[in-house]
């Protein structure tokens, strides 16, 4: 299981999850956008760190998360990195 984490964002203390681009159970590729988040009126994407299946969404749309926080999990497939 591999964590999907909000990356460090300088002085930003929290972001809001705007939209998940995949549903639990969907296959994702390493580097593929899996979620959109917003901070200070700027929207950016969070990419899958590995290829595999989106296993869990821990922070639903509309909720806030802090840099370094785990927002989801991917069940990594063999050779997914």
pLDDT digits (tens, 9 = 90+) for 11-58: 889 999 999 999 999 999 999 999 999 998 889 999 999 999 999 999
Q: What angle do CA 70, 74, 79 make, to 5 degrees?
A: 130
Q: What angle do CA 62, 77, 26 make, to 5 degrees?
A: 35
What architecture (CATH level 2) is domain 2-76?
A: Beta Barrel (2.40)
Please give the model's pTM, rounded to 2 decimal places: 0.90
64-78 pLDDT, tens digit per residue, is 999 999 999 999 987
């Amino acid at each position: 299981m591999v964590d999907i984490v909000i990356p460090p964002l300088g002085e930003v203390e929290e972001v809001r999850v705007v939209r998940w681009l995949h549903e639990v159970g969907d296959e994702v590729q390493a580097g593929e956008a899996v979620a959109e988040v917003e901070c200070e009126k700027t929207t950016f994407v969070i990419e899958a760190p590995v290829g595999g299946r989106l296993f869990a969404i821990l922070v639903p749309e509309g909720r806030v998360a802090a840099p370094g926080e785990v927002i989801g999990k991917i069940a990594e497939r063999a050779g997914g990195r």
